[in-house]
């Protein structure tokens, strides 16, 4: 239950959300949980984000809920609808391609920084992570690939030594999570993505920042490392698009 400071104990009402601090400002906790649900696709574009339900779930007043929603809205994760209420934000075709394009450039920058800044041990960790994903590729396992893909990129983000860059990339990944999930199910996508991970790894092991950036950017660029993205976007369920 909340106290007079607007702080909620981590083990509070509603659910257990893992490694939260013992005390966290209520609005921050609500933001973190809703953001995670969007990223994990528990909440999909167009799904309602109900203030009353959040108040009950977290045992708080309306104020921290609205603070969390305002932050989510500022980051483009939720939007208001004309008849009132809040939903997980939808993206139209043009918005989705624009964000995908920018995400590709940021991933390229992260790979370049990582190539310039990674230690020998971190380069080996990247190689080990890539090697560990072979079994997932052979099984053509979309769920396993989501985790393997994130593991590979997290090693790159850590090696880039730029937490702000990582923050922006993860924010864009969250915004596009429901849409990117459909690409993991596309025939041949996993093997193709794994191939590009191999190109990024080879460039980093060769100490070639330009090649690392080029491979990482192409990995997510429509018509290059992600062939068929245009077709995938056109085939997305209409209820996900704005």
Tens digit of each residue's pLDDT (9 = 90 or more) over 63-92: 999 999 999 999 999 999 988 899 999 988
pLDDT above 70 covers what percent of the chain? 81
Question: What per-residue confidence (pLDDT) applies to 137?
Answer: 95
Question: What per-residue confidence (pLDDT) applies to 93?
Answer: 81
Q: How confident is the model at residue 7 (pLDDT cuts 50, 70, 90)?
A: very low
Average pLDDT, stretch 213-235?
A: 71
In this model, does residue 21 exceed pLDDT 80? no
Question: What per-residue confidence (pLDDT) applies to 97?
Answer: 83
Token couple for 86: 């809040």
Domain ranges of the chain: 7-88, 93-240
Range scoring the smallest mean pLDDT among 21-30, 98-107, 159-168: 21-30
Question: What per-residue confidence (pLDDT) applies to 228?
Answer: 53
Range scoring the smallest mean pLDDT among 11-20, 125-134, 157-166, 208-217: 11-20
pLDDT tens string 164-192: 999 999 999 998 888 877 665 665 788 98
pLDDT above 90 covers what percent of the chain? 63
**Separation between Cα atoms, residue 113 and residue 118, nearest integer Å:** 8
Average pLDDT, stretch 21-37?
A: 86
In this model, does residue 133 exceed pLDDT 70? yes
CATH number for 93-240 (one of 3.40.50.300, 1.20.120.530, 3.40.50.620, 3.20.20.80): it is: 1.20.120.530
Q: Look at residues 216, 199, 209 and name the one whose alpha carbon lies nearest to residue 130.
A: 199
Question: What per-residue confidence (pLDDT) applies to 234?
Answer: 66
CATH number for 7-88 (one of 1.10.10.10, 3.20.20.70, 2.30.42.10, 1.10.3720.10): it is: 1.10.10.10
Range scoring the smallest mean pLDDT among 66-75, 76-85, 116-125, 148-157: 76-85
């Amino acid at each position: 239950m909340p106290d007079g400071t607007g702080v909620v104990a981590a083990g509070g009402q509603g659910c257990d959300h893992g490694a939260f601090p013992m005390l966290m400002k209520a609005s921050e906790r609500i933001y973190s949980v809703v953001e995670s649900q969007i990223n994990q696709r528990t909440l999909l574009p167009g799904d309602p984000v109900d203030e009353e339900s959040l108040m009950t779930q977290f045992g708080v007043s309306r104020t921290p809920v609205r603070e969390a929603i305002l932050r989510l809205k500022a980051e483009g994760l939720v939007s208001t609808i004309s008849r009132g209420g809040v939903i997980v934000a939808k993206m139209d075709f043009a918005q989705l391609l624009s964000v995908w394009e920018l995400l590709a450039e940021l991933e390229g920058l992260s790979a370049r920084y990582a190539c310039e800044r990674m230690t020998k041990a971190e380069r080996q960790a990247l190689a080990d992570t890539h090697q560990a994903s072979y079994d997932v590729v052979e099984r053509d396992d979309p769920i396993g690939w989501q985790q393997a893909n994130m593991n590979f990129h997290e090693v790159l983000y850590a090696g880039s030594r730029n937490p702000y860059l990582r923050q922006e990339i993860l924010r864009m990944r969250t915004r596009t999570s429901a849409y990117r999930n459909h690409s993991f199910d596309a025939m041949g996508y996993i093997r193709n993505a794994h191939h590009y991970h191999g190109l990024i790894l080879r460039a980093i092991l060769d100490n070639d920042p330009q090649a690392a950036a080029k491979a990482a950017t192409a990995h997510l660029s429509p018509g290059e490392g992600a062939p068929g993205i245009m077709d995938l976007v056109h085939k997305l369920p209409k209820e996900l698009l704005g």
